[in-house]
Chain A
Amino acid sequence: MLHYIGKRLLQLIPVLLGMTFLVFMIIRAIPGNPAQVILGQLASEEAIKALEIKLGLNNPWYTQYIDYLIGLFKGDLGESMRTVQPVSKEIWPYLAATFELAFFAILIAVIIGVNAGIISAWFQNSWFDYLAMVLALIGVSMPIFWLGLMEQWIFGIELQWLPTSGREDVRNPISSVTNLYVLDTIINGRFDQLGQVLKHLVLPGIALATIPMAIIARMTRSSMLEVMRADYIRTARAKGQKMFWVVYKHALKNAIIPVLTVIGLQMGLLLGGAILTETIFSWPGIGRYIYDAIQFRDYPVIQSGILIVAFIFVMINLFVDILYGLIDPRIKYD
Chain B
Amino acid sequence: MGTKKIWSFMLLMLLALIVALAACSSEKETGGDKETSTDKENEGTTTEGATEETGEKVLIFGRGGDSVFLDPIAATDGESFKVTQNVFETLLNFGDEDTTINPGLAKEWEASEDGLTYTFKLQEGVKFHDDTDFNAEAVVKNFERWANGSEDKFPYYASMFGGFKADEGHVIESVTADGDYTVVFKLKRAQAPFLKNIAMSPFGIASPTAFEAAGDKFGDNPVGTGPFKFVEWKRNDSITIEKFDGYWVDGLPKLDKVVFRAIPDNSARLNELLAGGIDLADGVNPADGVTVEGDSNLQLFERPSMNVGYLGLTTTRPPFDNVKVRQAMNYAIDKQAIIDAFFEGRAQIAKNPMPPSISGYNDDIPGYEYDPAKAKALLAEAGFADGFEMELWAMPVPRPYMPDGAKVAEVIQKNLEDIGVKAKIVSYEWATYLEKARNGEADAFMLGWTGDNGDADNFIYVLLDQDNIGSNNYTYYSNDELHKILIEAQTEVDEEKRNDLYKQAQEIIFEDAPWVPLAHSTPLLAGKANITGFIPHPTGSDKLTNVDFK
Contact = CB atoms under 8 A, between A and B. Distances in A.
A44 B158 contact: yes
A302 to B, nearest CB: 12
B159 interface: yes
A134 to B, nearest CB: 16
B188 interface: no
Interface residues of B, number: 74
Interface string A166-192: 110011110010000000000001111
A152 B62 CA distance: 16
Interface in A17-61: 30-33, 35-45, 47, 50-51, 54
B268 A164 contact: yes
Interface stretch (A62-70, A279-287, A313-321, A326-334): A279-287
B51 A172 contact: yes
A148 B6 contact: no
A84 interface: yes
B152 A282 contact: no
B1 A126 contact: yes
Contacts of A243: 5
A186 to B, nearest CB: 12
A226 to B, nearest CB: 18
A242 to B, nearest CB: 11
Interface string A210-248: 000000000000000000000000000000000100000
B152 A170 contact: no
A30 B431 CA distance: 10
Interface in A267-311: 279-282, 284, 288-289, 292, 295-297
A189 to B, nearest CB: 6
10 contacts: A32-B431, A32-B434, A42-B472, A47-B158, A167-B237, A171-B60, A173-B238, A190-B45, A191-B30, A195-B24
Interface string A137-167: 0000000000011001100110010011111
Contacts of A167: 237
Interface residues of A, number: 73
Interface stretch (A4-12, A196-204, A253-261): A196-204
B47 A43 contact: no
B31 interface: yes
B436 A31 contact: yes
A268 B436 CA distance: 35
Interface of B: 1, 3, 5-6, 9-10, 13, 16, 20, 23-24, 26-28, 30-31, 34, 37-38, 41, 45, 47-51, 58, 60, 68-69, 76-77, 150-152, 155-156, 158-159, 216, 232, 234-238, 240, 259, 261-265, 267-269, 271-272, 274-277, 429-432, 434-436, 452, 462, 470-472
B272 A190 contact: no
Query: What 8 A-B pairs have minimum CB-CB distances, sorted nearest first?
Result: A195-B27, A32-B431, A47-B151, A284-B236, A40-B76, A156-B275, A42-B159, A284-B237
A88 interface: no
Given A39-B155, A123-B6, A93 B234 contact: yes
B272 A165 contact: yes
A132 B49 CA distance: 44
Interface of A: 30-33, 35-45, 47, 50-51, 54, 82-84, 90, 93-94, 97, 111, 115, 119, 122-123, 126-128, 148-149, 152-153, 156-157, 160, 163-167, 170-173, 176, 189-192, 194-196, 198-199, 202, 243, 279-282, 284, 288-289, 292, 295-297
A93 to B, nearest CB: 6
Contact of A51 (B151, B234, B470): B151
A128 B10 contact: yes
Given A282-B268, A295-B431, A43 B27 contact: no
B236 A194 contact: no
Contacts of A44: 151, 158-159, 471
A253 B530 CA distance: 59
B16 A111 contact: yes
A296 B431 contact: yes
A50 B151 contact: yes
A51 B235 contact: no
A282 B435 contact: no
Nearest to B259: A170
A166 B27 contact: no
Contact of A173 (B28, B232, B272, B274): B232
A41 B437 CA distance: 13
A90 B220 CA distance: 13
A111 B13 CA distance: 10
Contacts of B34: 192
Given A119-B9, A165-B277, A280 B232 contact: no
Given A40-B76, A153-B271, A157-B275, A165 B431 contact: no
Contact of B1 (A54, A122, A189): A122
B430 A170 contact: no
B69 A282 contact: no
